[in-house]
Structure 1
Amino acid sequence: MTKLEPGANHYGHDVSSKIGSAGPSLFEQYPLLAELWEDAKELLGVRSNDAHTLYSVSVAHQLLGHYPQADSHVVLPAMLLHDIGWSAVDSDLVLSAIAPGAGNAELVLQHEKEGARLARQILVGHGVAAEDIERILYIIDGHDSRKESTSIEDSLVKDADKLWRLTGHGLDTIMDWFGLTRMQAFTLVESRVCGHLFTEPAQCMAAGFIAVERANMLAQRLALEER
């Protein structure tokens, strides 16, 4: 659970008026994303894809700041809708598609194809330009199976998708998918992310996530929680 309110004020004085105000949220900046989310969230209720998607969209938005030439109107909708196709795959088989030592390429392809089909319906319903729709669908239909990148937009979606795995939420989720300890999940994720990112900012972000998680698992850090 995300901590939103303080548990104490050790300083004893109110400093809130000195820090300014927060900017608009991502969905406030891109109203279309909020609309797409309402249509997509029920389709994302498979293996925590709803939360995964929100983290990945935020990461993609951060990466976009390094690439002004990239089209945010393609990257962000593609990111929001990239995994809706898992809703069309037998829920009992979803994890077998990506499990260590297993994997099922046909199921991966199925979720991409179904995702593109469902995304077209959603995007058309929101009046998205036909040219943008085709670019978005091309990214969705290949975001996992296509190992090479075909554009900067494709790269950013692929990178943001992978980077989620290194977040605290990603590791928590993957631990429970496969019954792994945190160290086992981290080892698995690191091997599947590092060396597979297309952009330098994503590589830097991955290094930051890795540093934080390694600190989390230090024996000295864990001992602090026992005091």
Structure 2
Amino acid sequence: MSAPSATRLPTDLAVDTSPIVLTPATGTDLDDIWRAVVPETRVRANDVHLPMSLAYAERLCAVHPEADSLLVRVTILLHDTGWGRVDEERIFSEGFSGDWRKAQIRFEHERQGCLIAQEVLPPLGYDAEFVERVVTIIDGHDTRQYSKSLEDTLVRDADRLWRFDYAGIAVAASWFRLDPSTYADRLETEILPELLTEAGHTIAVAHLARSRALLKTDVLR
């Protein structure tokens, strides 16, 4: 899914492009959800990806106050938990090789993520309508070629933004069996054009430049 600059969601507010480590996700209101999905965070580096993505989601919500921030935050926390309930060997043999965007394992992890949301949220007090809105975004977040709502858009960008940080590059490059320099190039040519918000694009450009400098990608090729 490509988002030319002319069609990216704009914002009139200042965008924070500082290192994401300086602004971890705030508050403890989601801690009960985290506790409910600890086993699902121990697969595919979800225990790195999900907290970082939540922090990015909160930055995007800060410049899009019209969005339902609770919906965005809960959904990004849960969106990839489905990886914890699929065959881990298939995650890497199918999910990160060949035509990886269309790999069946990706559809499977989305389905499992929807089931997890339906399992963990109602006992924590989230009503059926809210849970359905979460599931609607999780379903197809990797495989659907369009965004259904503002909140879906913010979740999609947050899901991608973590990769532009040096920690995200280190993790994701290993998934694709690429060196950091090659993966950084791939971020610029493939993932950066997919970002749907001006804020997300601005953050990604700043973080990628910072990561490339830190990792010496200009010479370590």
Range class of TM-score, shorter chain = 0.7 to 0.9
Q: Does the aligned pair in 2 maintain the 1:85–1:112 contact within 8 Å?
A: yes
Unaligned stretches of 5+ residues in structure 1: 1-23, 223-227
CA offset at residue 158 of structure 1?
0.4
Aligned length: 198
What TM-score results when the alignment is normalised by the length of structure 2?
A: 0.82
Partner of 1:12: none
Q: How does 1:1-227 map to 2 (within 5 A)?
A: 26-28=25-27, 30-31=28-29, 33-103=30-100, 104-218=102-216
Q: Does the aligned pair in 1 maintain the 2:25–2:51 contact within 8 Å?
A: no
**Bigger relative contact order (CA 8 A; separation at least 6):** 2
Q: Which moved more, 1:78-87 or 1:40-49?
A: 40-49
Q: Which moved more, 1:118-127 or 1:169-178?
A: 169-178
Unaligned stretches of 5+ residues in structure 2: 1-22
Distance 2:160 2:77 in 1: 14
Distance 2:213 2:196 in 1: 26
Q: CA RMSD of the aligned region, Å?
A: 2.2
Residue 110 of structure 2: SS of its match in structure 1?
Answer: helix
Distance 1:68 1:80 in 2: 19
- AA partner of residue 142 (structure 2): D
Distance 2:68 2:179 in 1: 39
CA offset at residue 211 of structure 1?
1.4
